[in-house]
Structure 1
């Protein structure tokens, strides 16, 4: 009997995560990317790596971001009416409320249509704040840094109200301050001016975010995408009060997760030709023993997988869902092909993949609970006793046939 097998690496694209605005007449644009690529050097890794280009602040001053990631997008916020000093309404001054709550976003596999869930929240906001008149003119204080600090009640922008905290405060002239506020929870943070301002604009907008991605080991290799719309403006997801309004009212986010999986089955030399035998071999029967109950052969192989796998067989000779072997007279008998995968791979029900029957009709699906690297699996081939009895009616003949075992790293619904 000849057994053919699939061998090699099967790769697919898979979390990376991209936030990118869909085309819109009125929308800010942003971009986030992440990916999962398994590594033999770190087989316990089961998380995505964020590959996004950092925003300006996190890229140029990574210490202020503590390893987190930010995005910078074009646009601006501008006041609609003058900022009045000591206004008791916080929404008429400098006001910030971020979507710091976790939002569920459904990503879909570009090929199979499968879905999974990503969670996203925004925890910091910053930019370049420009004012008119300038700080020294508005306050009458000649020192620029002192003037910017005196411009606000309770200290400058380096002293945001609780629960917000300051990650960055930098005076860039008497009209401009670079700031970055952290908002760890959903809350309103507002600063009241101590002097009137005609203009208060924010440019070079930057958002720091956190993202929770699914376990890539259970995701099909490939591209996973989603579009998600955040709104900006009074009472919106990003709320900057009733006076400070965005140039565009939407932030369209496109999420792209890239999953790459390893899949490999390595067989020893000579495994492409297998001989089925009774347990204990043919000699006991040839020496006058009883007829064999069945003829079998187990073939071990080394298996590597970092994600979901589906398996099936393809046959030279087909009998129902099984492959068959045949003699020159055309007589065929079915061969059951079963598979055992190493620990770390399991069925959809959670049980081990042990002597699971493969067929040409239905795929067998296995999931990975960890990266399985070069572990031993087994193929089990068997011709049942009743079929062996039929074969014995054709003495002095040879039965053979090809069985192709196919592993596929794409998990088709």
Structure 2
């Protein structure tokens, strides 16, 4: 009996979050965020997207911030076109934090729907802003000493973070300016500090921030490209809120997401594995020597599979016999051969059930969808070929003849 295996290449599946910063004419911050899922044979248990957005700013360039950002799983970007200028004198020791240095970012999780470019399938990722920083410049006098307080250096909050924000152990300063970067805990609200003496003029130049992502499970996603967008308001009372004293020209911050999923589906047969000889258990000796009729003819053919996404299996036959393939001898006598598949742990059917001797049929029923619950890398699986007892009895009526046929088993990632 001859059969062949065909594995169709999987479509790419990547989570892409593009990294480009631009200042749009309509006063908007626009970021392209990119990420990709590509199975890693050296780490098959890692079933997560990899953020491929080029980083900039503190999370990319300062050793202490790099370590902290990596530990928290956040990604930093610098927006050089950002600026904000004070609308009035920054008052000293004011009870209203919005009249001084005030930073509120969307640190709570927001849902973002992403849509498959080809099929329209949707998934949900989540995003939050997890850090913020800028360069501030003040008039002199008073210069940076305006932020000093009794028993406390002017740089205390800028270096350590104004609660609930947390510093990363960094500040770069001159007599009139400082660059800082604060981690913002989830749902933290506003972080603010106030000067101890009035500041006639103050401005911000560039915006540092970091974002955190919760991406969908790529193993349950179709291969290909997913896109989605989320927009935040900027300005007093907005999602990005710098208080009432500092007014930026931007009024919208938009994040465009591209998720690319690159699944693997690879089938390896052993040498000669495409030629199947069906035999009774223990061979033909019991029949030849004792006349004991075999109860079945069979062969279990192992193969190896690597899979990270969805696929289906179908059957094509050189000779059709009912809903399966047929074997025929030279006289035209024919019997059906039953073909089934068993898949390794980590691959299930559409109901999350294990796949054990699942029948392959010409109509495709029962094998329309298999899915990876984890990346399965080069694991053994089995194809089962069998002629049942009644059909063996029919074959034994024609001793000395050979029955043969062809079956094509197809693993198809285009589900």
Report the TM range for the smaller structure's normalisation.
0.7 to 0.9
1:30 aligns to 2:31 (yes or no): yes
Distance 1:323 1:62 in 2: 65
Determine which of 97, 101, 122 is the counterpart of 2:129: 122
Q: Deviation digits for residues 28-49 of structure 1, max 9, x if unmatched?
A: 1223333233333323323333
Q: Is the 8 A contact 2:227 2:257 kept in 1?
A: yes
1:207 matched to which residue of 2?
209
The corresponding residue for 1:60 is 61
In 2, the alpha carbon distance for the partners of 1:324 and 1:129 equals 80
Contact residue 35 and residue 49 of structure 1 kept, 8 A: yes
Partner of 1:78: 84
1:126 and 1:396, CA in 2 relative to 1: closer, same or farther beyond 3 A?
same
Q: In structure 2, what is the equivalent of residue 325 of structure 1?
A: 327
- 1:108 corresponds in structure 2 to 115
Q: Which residue of 2 aligns with 1:227?
A: 229
Separation (CA, whole Å) in 2 of partners of 1:336 and 1:199:
84
Q: Does 1:93 align with 2:97?
A: no
Aligned partner of residue 280 in structure 2, secondary structure: coil
Once the two structures are superposed, residues 289-339 of structure 1 have per-residue CA deviations (whole angstroms, 9 ceiling, x without a partner) of: 355433322101122233443322233333454333345666654332211
Tell me which residue corresponds to 2:314: 312
1:399 Cα deviation from its structure 2 partner: 3.6
Gaps of 5+ in 1: 140-146
Question: Are the counterparts in 2 of residues 21 and 27 from structure 1 also a CA contact under 8 Å?
Answer: no
Q: What secondary structure sits across from 2:363 in the alignment?
A: coil
Match of 1:256 in 2: 258
Secondary structure of 1:76's match?
Answer: strand
Answering whether residue 375 of structure 2 is matched by residue 371 of structure 1, we say yes
- Aligned partners of 1:169, 1:324: CA distance in 2, in Å? 78
8 Å contact kept, 2:86–2:202: no
SS in 1 for 2:89: coil
Residues 224-279 of structure 1 show CA distances to partners (whole Å, capped at 9, x for unaligned) of 33222222222222222234233222221122223333332221111111122333
Provide the C-alpha distance between the structure 1 equivalents of 2:389 and 2:359, rounded to a whole number of angstroms.
Answer: 18
Correspondence 1:370-389 to 2 at 5 A: 370-389=374-393
CA contact (8 A) 1:92 1:241 kept: yes
The correspondence for 2:246, drawn from 227, 244, 256, is: 244
Does 1:69 find its partner at 2:65?
A: no
Secondary structure of 2:339's aligned partner: strand
Q: In structure 1, how many angstroms separate the alpha carbons of the residues matched to 2:213 and 2:21?
A: 17
Higher mean C-alpha displacement, 217-226 vs 202-211: 217-226
Counterpart-to-counterpart distance in 1, 2:319 and 2:26: 60
Matched, 1:150 2:140: no
1:10-49 pair list within 5 angstroms: 10=10, 12-18=12-18, 25-49=26-50
User: Unmatched 5+ residue regions in structure 2?
Assistant: none
**Could you tell me the TM-score, scaled by structure 1's length?**
0.84
Q: Quick one: structure 1 residues 304 and 152, their matched pair in 2 at CA, closer, same or farther if it must change by over 3 Å?
A: same
Q: Quick one: which of 268, 271, 278 aligns to 2:273?
A: 271
Question: Do the aligned residues in 2 keep the contact of 1:217 with 1:369 (CA within 8 Å)?
Answer: yes
Residues 1:314 and 1:73: Cα distance change in structure 2 (over 3 Å): farther
Q: 1:288 to 1:306 in 2, by over 3 A?
A: same
Change (3 A) 1:268 1:91: same
DSSP 3-state at the match of 1:88? coil
The Cα shift of 1:91 comes to 1.7
**CA-to-aligned-CA distance 1:335-393 (integer Å, 9 cap, x gap):** 32211112232334333221112234334433334333332211001233344455556
Alpha-carbon distance between aligned partners in 2 of 1:189 and 1:274, rounded to the nearest angstrom: 71
Structure 1 residues 360, 245: closer, same or farther in 2, change over 3 A? farther
2: CA distance between counterparts of 1:253 and 1:319?
56
What value does the CA root-mean-square deviation take over the aligned residues? Answer: 3.1
In structure 1, the partner of 2:405 is: 401
Q: CA shift at 1:175, angstroms?
A: 4.2
C-alpha separation in 2, matches of 1:335 and 1:28: 64
1:99 shift after superposition: 1.3
Match of 1:142 in 2: none
Number of equivalenced pairs: 399
SS of the residue 1:253 aligns to:
strand
Q: Secondary structure at the match of 2:30?
A: coil
What do residues 29-73 of structure 1 show as CA deviations (whole Å, max 9, x unaligned)?
223333233333323323333332112222221421322421223
